[in-house]
Amino acid sequence: MTDFRAEVATIFESLVARIGERAPQPRLHATRKAVEYLGNPQQSYAIVHVTGTNGKTSTSRMIEALCRAHGLRTGLMTSPHLRFVTERIMLDGEPISDEKFVENWRDVEPYINMVDEDLLANGEVPLTYFETLTILTLAAFADAPVDVAILEVGMGGAWDSTNVADADVAVFAPIGIDHAEFLGNTITDIARTKAGIIKPGSIVVTAAQEPDAMAEIIAAAEMMDGELVVEGDSFELMSSVSAVGGQVMQIRGRAAAYRDVPVTLHGRHQAHNAALAIAAVESLFGNGSRPIPDDILSIALGNVTSPGRLQYLAANPPIIVDAAHNPHGALALAAAIRDVLPFEKVWCVIGVLDDKDARGIIEALDPVVAGFICTQSGSDRAMQANDLSDIVAALVGADRVSAEPTLTAALETASSMCGPSDAIMVTGSITLVGDTITLARTENWT
């Protein structure tokens, strides 16, 4: 019997040997050439393309769940993965099987090699890790085949490799400052790049944005003759209240008002993401004129998951993970800790990658956590725990900071600090969250 998991691991090793996601190439022609060799698989299904700074993954997952509840076969591409690379390619709500991952890789590998040879001959670098994964994903969706693909942008938009697909619906989660070294130092620059996913005739559905970001989205929509659907005008979150296992929302959509909508995700930011997802799906079906049936809303949003986003992993003490890895995401997490989570104190186990704004993340979390235990993930990009603790101590005081180089030791320290009504929040980087989820499964936390 073929050991497909071992072959997946071998393929993954070959992928990570390529230029990584830390150094994206601002180009589309390389990915476009590969999909042209493959017969443009991205043209065989409808496309919902999702960009933004924070909330992309959760919004994408909710859109996918709503489309699947309508009876469509779905493909979902998100990044990064938390444990296994197959998590990035979802078919009908489940990671692609190891066997299908391998089969699709065998199909596309010859064309990947051809493009690599062409690029090298022209003095360019070969296809990157993310470019190659995008090509594999688009081909896997066509092979399935899916009816609709929900594609989360890797970085930016205009030159992101997912942008070889033409969005039927272009979705914008909230835009803030992140990846400034690639996207620009201002909201205007970043939004302009993200607005590149708008194609001729796209329906553009956007969350509320800062004025400079909204101006860029409006300009791009007008240039592409796209219909603009804006939160607060065409749709809105009217209210949300915490409930067992999540929250209950009242939403004014494009086609109808939706009452008592359950969503199994915590935090008001997730309620806004749900409103954005509903508006996107209304736009996909009937151009905003067809209401989503109540049973579909309940099935889809009442069972949706977004791993690594305010995810509970243990109960005694409560251990929660959240993938906030920039100040914008940390502010949303802080609001959830303050307004939603039912704990007296929250102790923060934090690890940050060395190219992220550690200071901004700490400043956002400082008002709502009792103390910080600095650690580091297994990533070679992780800031050393002692270096991070120096930054934190300068901001919040040395008496509220400790450093533990291993995640296990950091969790043990946090646990020793917890009172009976306290909780532990693990955050700061997606890689640290992934390490924590892996540890929880290995040790069978409950």
Domain of 374?
Answer: 311-442
Which three-class secondary structure state does DSSP give residue 433? helix
Please give the pLDDT value at position 244: 80
Q: Number of H helices and number of E strands within the chain?
A: 15, 17
- At residue 340, the pLDDT reads 87
Structure tokens at 286: 């009937």
Q: What angle do CA 71, 76, 77 make, to 5 degrees?
A: 170
274 & 345 share domain: no
Same-domain status, 422 and 332: yes
Boundary (domain end) residue, out of 282, 301, 320: 301
DSSP 97: P
**Residue that finishes a domain, picked among 256, 283, 301:** 301
pLDDT score for 446: 76
CATH code of 360's domain: 3.90.190.20
Look up the CATH number of the domain holding residue 69: 3.40.1190.10
- Separation CA 76–CA 88 (nearest Å): 8
This model's pTM is above 0.75: yes
Q: What is the pLDDT of residues 234-270, one digit of tens each?
A: 999 999 998 888 999 999 999 999 999 999 999 999 9
236 lies in the same domain as 204: yes
Give strand pairing partners of 427: 350
> Strand 346-350 to strand 169-172: parallel, antiparallel, or no bridges (unpaired)?
unpaired
| Residue 381 lies inside a defined structural domain of this protein | yes
Determine, yes or no, domain membership for 182. Answer: yes
Per-residue model confidence (pLDDT) at position 180: 66
Both 32 and 145 in one domain: the answer is yes
Residue 289 and residue 178 share a domain: yes
Rg (CA), the chain: 21
Examine the domain organization and report whether 323 and 297 are in the same domain. no
Question: How many angstroms separate the CA atoms of 324 and 346, rounded?
Answer: 15
Residue 225 confidence (pLDDT): 97
Classify residue 306: in a domain, yes or no: no
| 79 HSE (CA, 13 A, CB side) | 20
Q: Are residues 222 and 335 in the same domain?
A: no
The total of structural domains in the chain comes to: 2
Residues 199 and 284 reside in one and the same domain: yes
Written as tens digits, the pLDDT of the chain (446 aa) is 578 999 999 999 999 999 886 778 899 999 999 999 999 999 999 999 999 998 999 999 999 999 999 999 999 999 988 889 999 999 999 999 999 999 999 999 999 999 999 999 999 999 999 999 999 999 999 999 999 999 999 998 999 999 999 999 999 999 987 766 777 789 999 999 999 999 999 999 999 999 999 999 999 999 999 999 999 999 999 999 988 889 999 999 999 999 999 999 999 999 999 999 999 999 999 889 999 999 999 999 999 999 999 999 999 999 999 999 999 899 999 999 998 899 999 999 999 999 899 999 999 999 999 999 999 999 988 999 999 999 999 999 999 999 999 999 999 999 999 999 999 999 999 999 999 999 999 999 97
